[in-house]
Structure 1
Amino acid sequence: MAATCPSCLHENPVGTEFCEVCGSEIGCTSIEAPLPPIPVQITASSDATVATEIQPPIPQPAPPVPHPSPTITNSSSATNGVDNAKLISKQAGASISEFILDGNNVVVGRFDPDTGPVDLDLEGFSGDETISRNHAEIYYEGNQWKIKDLGSTNGVFIKRYGQRQFGARITIPEMMISRDEIAFGKIRFLFQA
């Protein structure tokens, strides 16, 4: 069996310590598996043949991954197994165009110094004077998105997908289906699940 040079892959006689062609140390004279070859480039000139190692390409850093624009969420949904849903504003020029719902109970209303903040604050939207402090609650229960009025002054209304007008004010918890339109007082959103 021949001793293969790890540099130039020349087959040398067994027991050879240095390659007959390039002079590299063979190092392995037993019947062990040969070392992986090192890529070489052989160049010839008028004086001699020269073997030089080919350097592997230098790895380039990966390009930066773009981050999505921030959205408002209540908390992490990774632990509760619920697919996120959204309320998308129907108002042109709204200060916040959408709210992400993650399955936790979300209180919709307006900030009040006495009762504090709410999860989904509609203050600053056109028509916010029709929003109660604790207007409604949106939650995920039994694999369904639901909404209930929390005793608001101006009510919660649902226009089902494909309907032409809103139904009567809701008085009991109602299921929400993707593409339903939800009105909190005069402020309207498209529900998307």
Structure 2
Amino acid sequence: MIVCPNCNHQNPDGAVQCEACYTPLPAMTTCPSCGARVQADAAFCGQCGFNLKEAPAVVSQQLGEDKPDDIPDPVSSSSFEIPDLPPIEPLATPAPVLPNMGAPSTPPSSGEEVAVPSMPPASGEERVISSSSPPTPAPIPTMPSEASSSTQLQAPSAKLLHVQTDTTIDLPAHLTVVHIGKPNDRIPPDVDVSGFPNSEIVSRIHADLRLEADAFYIEDVGSSNGTYINNMPLPMGNRHRLRAGDRISLGKGDKVSFIFQQS
């Protein structure tokens, strides 16, 4: 089993994401001493106490001791012979660059007609062009400006709906960490709840909303009366991934509650 470092939920072997809180799980490996399943970043095996940091050196030392002496080294064996390679054929000589065929040696004067031999005449007559009137280049097509604007990615937006007053609070789109609480001298709140009823149960530094990889997480940062998600207490220091419709209660009694909305 793989224990989630966020919510301590026991997940089956081979899982890469927690089934309860969707937190990425640590990679697992096998202890080279006893074969028990341990985390890849662990320093010691929890079953036999083997030092996993020195495992590569111990394994290579064991391999060197167990190697039979009668097996010759394939690299140092004198019986290995390198066959002679055939001689490399020389590269083909590049063809000489021919001078411009049919081009006039001197530029034509104004009004003089120049014959173009590469374009055959359509009706038996010699086709001529005037050097005084150069051909008009074809216009270069341009892409419409609407195509570039439509490919721009938009950051996810979220709102908090205050249940008791039916008031909507838009979360700042330019912030990755949104502080929820009341005015204080340490960390000014980005979402001030001091104007809502029963706000005395909310701490000045109560909870944080974090935006990571297009997902919002909430974390209690040491409030006096706690934070509740869907009527379940959120332990301090633990993060919960928010989904649309989650109910966030600041303090006990469900007196200051918000519904998380995301678009």
What TM-score does the superposition give when structure 1 sets the normalisation length?
A: 0.50
Based on CA coordinates, which of the two structures has the bigger radius of gyration?
2
Comparing both structures, which one devotes a greater share of its residues to strand?
A: 1
Comparing both structures, which one devotes a greater share of its residues to helix?
A: 2
Task: With a CA cutoff of 8 Å and minimum separation of 6, indicate the structure with the bigger relative contact order.
Answer: 1
What TM-score does the superposition give when structure 2 sets the normalisation length?
A: 0.37
